[in-house]
Amino acid sequence: MVDLMRTVLQKVQVEQTLIDQYAREAAKIVGEDNVSVNRADLLATCRDYWPVNNVWMVEGAVPALPQLVVWPQNTSEVSRLLALANAKKIPVTPFGEGSGALGGVVPLKGGITMDLKRINKIRFIDHENLMVTVDCGMNGALYEEELNRAGYTGGHFPQSLRCSTVGGWLSCRAAGQFSTRYGKIEDMVVSLEAVLPDGTVFSGRSVPRTATGPRVDHLMLGSEGTLGIITSAALRIWPLPGKRHLASYTFERLEDGLEAIRLFMRAGTRPAVVRLYDAQETGNHFPELGDKRCALILIIEGSAKIVDAETSVIEDCVTGQGGLDEGAEHVEHWLEKRFNIGVASMLFQKGAVLDTIEVTTNWHNAHSTYLAMQQALLAVEGTMLASGHYSHVYPEGAALYVTMVGFPGDHKLAYYKNLWQAAMEAAITEGAAISHHHGVGLHRGLWMAEEHGSGMDVLRKIKAAFDPHGIMNPGKLGLEEVQEWQK
Ligand SMILES: Cc1cc2nc3c(=O)[nH]c(=O)nc-3n(C[C@H](O)[C@H](O)[C@H](O)COP(=O)(O)OP(=O)(O)OC[C@H]3O[C@@H](n4cnc5c(N)ncnc54)[C@H](O)[C@@H]3O)c2cc1C
């Protein structure tokens, strides 16, 4: 049997006597059943969906291992556990459901992994003010189902809905498939409750906007576990839509589809779902449409009169750019398949490296970034496919989601590094931002200095103020020296 305890990235660990002491004291806080050094638990929480993990796993290795897993059940326990770790200077890595795509939960320096899944309730639905207060560890699909039973939607549907938590969404600035109407997760936040490494619990006020200085609770958005732990959030909710209109079109050229979207966003419409695929992805996802034209999938929802008015404006913009009406059927097909994530594992078993990279652009560089990234990826030896679609749009631009597949034989890791280097260089040269919603984790840290410029020093100062001992999720967000393997 393969021994999966070999760690590729871990250079240091915490002294065992300190861990033993911590385990005893943690058990007094959360109970013996919520503390574990069991191998199965260490393995279950040491990795996420970063494709590099799979390559190592097949070789019988993991990126790094925690030395202890704890499961707090409320904010007060998180506070006491963090204060204890801080006093002993033991690293803590927060863990939601491990669906991150960039190694964010890899416990590079060992220590404690804090699995937040047992803090998992909707605390309160505020019907009058259209808000919900929800715990960080609640599973995404269960969150949406419970809201639906009360007559609402949370409006947030990442493809990983069934395998991610609310806290993970907030920590990574996630985006759902219906983001054009409901916003990214950060647009839904009214306030957050969080715990700092020294155990301080703080929260923002759940009022519509404030002008009382910077919102300290919002600083936790996108912090990926490096500043503290988000324990709950007050989020916006919406009554279930009265009407839903499904529409699809095809365009001769990708840029015609982009122009149609730019125009209907400029006109003030906000369809929930807007997905524009290049010809290759059109052929893959909707074979009945062929692979010569570019498909646009739209869902417009809300109150019936508003939906009708938006549909009319959108139709004008789309047909004005040469869009051909392809009916509702393709959207129904997409709705059925939208959470299906099996293809990556199937291709991996056949020896492929498959990954996706999402970046965000303005309208002026939306198409050129697509062309530049595709060309750069196809130039990497071993690449079989580099395709793209736009799936989150704004008045000021659109997010581009690129998928690449290659068969590099035995050189999977070298190929993977080359792919990312090529894609990031192309995106940066075109003026795109390097991530729209997957976040940074471990892997994207390499390009953070280029992305932020002098802002990176500001980020490091914030980190030092929140976490002076550097215990929170060390090695992530590009805040520390970048891992050797990436160079
Ligand atoms: C197949 C697939 C599809 C995906 N589709 C989408 C998509 O459509 N949209 C999208 O935005 N993302 C998507 N992702 C990425 C991923 O699902 C998101 O990043 C998600 O938000 C992570 O949630 P999680 O609970 O699994 O977090 P984890 O992976 O467990 O953690 C992610 C990071 O957040 C930190 N963290 C987790 N919880 C907390 C907390 N409460 N407080 C502080 N830090 C915390 C962790 O330390 C880590 O750094 C996809 C991933 C996969 C594998």
Residue 450, pLDDT > 50, answer yes
Same domain, 136 and 235: yes
* Residue 485: band (very low, low, confident or very high) from pLDDT cuts 50, 70, 90: low
**Taking residues 209-238, what's their average pLDDT?**
97
- The Cα–Cα gap between 229 and 281 comes to 38
Tell me the best of 45, 50, 81, 99 to mutate to test the pocket of ligand 1, counting ligand atoms within 8 Å of each CB and taking the most: 99
* Cβ atoms within 10 Å of 399's Cβ, excluding its own: 23
Take atom 33 of ligand 1 and give the residue whose Cα is closest.
224
Domain that holds residue 29: 6-117
Domain total of the chain: 4
Take atom 34 of ligand 1 and give the residue whose Cα is closest.
224
User: 52 to each of 59, 353, 413, 439, 485, how far by Cα in Å?
Assistant: 11, 9, 7, 16, 11
* Residue 483: band (very low, low, confident or very high) from pLDDT cuts 50, 70, 90: low
In the chain, DSSP finds a helix count (H) and a strand count (E) of 17, 20
**Taking residues 414-436, what's their average pLDDT?**
97
First to last CA, the chain: 32
Phi, psi of 84 (to 5 degrees): -65, -45
Same domain, 94 and 145: no
**Taking residues 224-250, what's their average pLDDT?**
98
Q: Ligand 1: does its nearest atom lie under 6 Å from the Cβ of 93? A: yes
Take atom 41 of ligand 1 and give the residue whose Cα is closest.
167
Q: Ligand 1: does its nearest atom lie under 6 Å from the Cβ of 48? A: yes
- The Cα–Cα gap between 46 and 48 comes to 7
Summarize pLDDT for 310-366 with one digit per residue, the tens.
999 999 999 999 999 999 999 999 999 999 888 888 888 899 999 999 999 999 999
Pairing of strands 189-195, 152-153: unpaired
Same domain, 364 and 383: yes
Instruction: Examine the fold and report which residue of 101, 117, 133 is the final residue of a domain before the chain moves on.
Output: 117
- The Cα–Cα gap between 174 and 461 comes to 24
Amino acid at 155: G
- 230 alpha carbon – ligand 1 mean position (Å): 13
Q: Ligand 1: does its nearest atom lie under 6 Å from the Cβ of 94? A: yes
Tell me the best of 75, 159, 202, 217 to mutate to test the pocket of ligand 1, counting ligand atoms within 8 Å of each CB and taking the most: 159
Q: Ligand 1: does its nearest atom lie under 6 Å from the Cβ of 107? A: no
Strands (E), 136-228: 152-153, 189-195, 201-203
**Taking residues 244-272, what's their average pLDDT?**
98
Structure tokens of 359?
């970046």
Q: Ligand 1: does its nearest atom lie under 6 Å from the Cβ of 444? A: no
CATH number for the domain that contains residue 327: 3.30.70.3450
Q: Ligand 1: does its nearest atom lie under 6 Å from the Cβ of 65? A: no
The verdict on residue 188 lying in a domain is yes
Q: Which atom of ligand 1 is nearest to the CA of 169?
A: 21
Summarize pLDDT for 42-64 with one digit per residue, the tens.
999 999 999 999 899 888 999 99
The verdict on residue 280 lying in a domain is yes
Same domain, 225 and 324: no
- 140 alpha carbon – ligand 1 mean position (Å): 11
Pairing of strands 383-394, 273-277: antiparallel
Same domain, 175 and 235: yes
Residue 1, pLDDT > 70, answer no
The verdict on residue 63 lying in a domain is yes
- 426 alpha carbon – ligand 1 mean position (Å): 25
**Taking residues 165-183, what's their average pLDDT?**
98
Beta bridge partners of residue 398, listed in sequence order = 361, 393
Instruction: Examine the fold and report which residue of 438, 457, 476 is the final residue of a domain before the chain moves on.
Output: 438
Are 9 and 64 a contacting pair, CB within 8 Å?
yes
Q: Ligand 1: does its nearest atom lie under 6 Å from the Cβ of 10? A: no
The verdict on residue 466 lying in a domain is no
CATH number for the domain that contains residue 138: 3.30.465.10
Structure tokens of 384?
């079989």
Are 362 and 261 a contacting pair, CB within 8 Å?
no
Same domain, 227 and 126: yes
* Half-sphere exposure at residue 427, Cβ-oriented, CA atoms within 13 angstroms: 27
Q: Under 8 Å CB-to-CB from 309, ≥6 apart: which residues?
A: none
Closest-CA residue to 176 (of 144, 148, 151, 207): 144
Chain centroid offset of residue 23 CA = 31
Same domain, 126 and 235: yes
Q: Ligand 1: does its nearest atom lie under 6 Å from the Cβ of 120? A: no
Q: What percent of the chain has pLDDT over 90?
A: 92
Same domain, 54 and 141: no
Residues in the chain, how many? 487
CATH number for the domain that contains residue 377: 3.30.300.330
Same domain, 233 and 157: yes
**Contacts by 444-450 with C-beta closer than 8 Å and gap 24+?**
444/102, 444/478, 445/475, 445/476, 445/477, 445/478, 445/479, 445/482, 445/483, 445/486, 446/478, 446/482, 446/486, 446/487, 447/478, 448/477, 448/478, 448/479, 449/478
Summarize pLDDT for 100-148 with one digit per residue, the tens.
999 999 999 999 999 999 999 999 999 999 999 999 999 999 999 999 9
Residue 486, pLDDT > 60, answer no
Summarize pLDDT for 365-391 with one digit per residue, the tens.
999 999 999 999 999 999 999 999 999
Residue 244, pLDDT > 70, answer yes
* Half-sphere exposure at residue 332, Cβ-oriented, CA atoms within 13 angstroms: 4
Take atom 7 of ligand 1 and give the residue whose Cα is closest.
158
Are 103 and 48 a contacting pair, CB within 8 Å?
yes
Residue 433, pLDDT > 50, answer yes
Same domain, 157 and 106: no
The verdict on residue 43 lying in a domain is yes
What is the pLDDT at residue 213?
96
Are 406 and 348 a contacting pair, CB within 8 Å?
no
The verdict on residue 385 lying in a domain is yes
* Residue 11: band (very low, low, confident or very high) from pLDDT cuts 50, 70, 90: confident
The verdict on residue 66 lying in a domain is yes
**Taking residues 173-197, what's their average pLDDT?**
98
* Half-sphere exposure at residue 308, Cβ-oriented, CA atoms within 13 angstroms: 4
User: 186: left (phi > 0), else alpha (psi -120 to 50), else beta?
Assistant: alpha
Same domain, 316 and 416: no
Q: Ligand 1: does its nearest atom lie under 6 Å from the Cβ of 401? A: no
What is the pLDDT at residue 481?
75
CATH number for the domain that contains residue 48: 3.30.43.10
Are 72 and 144 a contacting pair, CB within 8 Å?
no
- The Cα–Cα gap between 14 and 207 comes to 42
The verdict on residue 223 lying in a domain is yes
Structure tokens of 170?
């907030």
130 by Cβ neighbours in 10 Å (0-12 / 13-18 / 19+) ranks as middle
Rg (CA), the chain: 23
Same domain, 368 and 410: yes
Q: What percent of the chain has pLDDT over 70?
A: 98
Amino acid at 61: A
Instruction: Examine the fold and report which residue of 399, 416, 438 is the final residue of a domain before the chain moves on.
Output: 438
What is the pLDDT at residue 333?
96
The rounded mean pLDDT for the chain is 96
Strands (E), 293-427: 294-302, 324-325, 353-362, 383-394, 397-406
Structure tokens of 259?
């122009």
* Residue 465: band (very low, low, confident or very high) from pLDDT cuts 50, 70, 90: very high
What is the pLDDT at residue 328?
98
Q: Ligand 1: does its nearest atom lie under 6 Å from the Cβ of 442? A: no
Position of tokens 């290049």? Answer: 278
- 37 alpha carbon – ligand 1 mean position (Å): 24
Q: Which atom of ligand 1 is nearest to the CA of 175?
A: 11
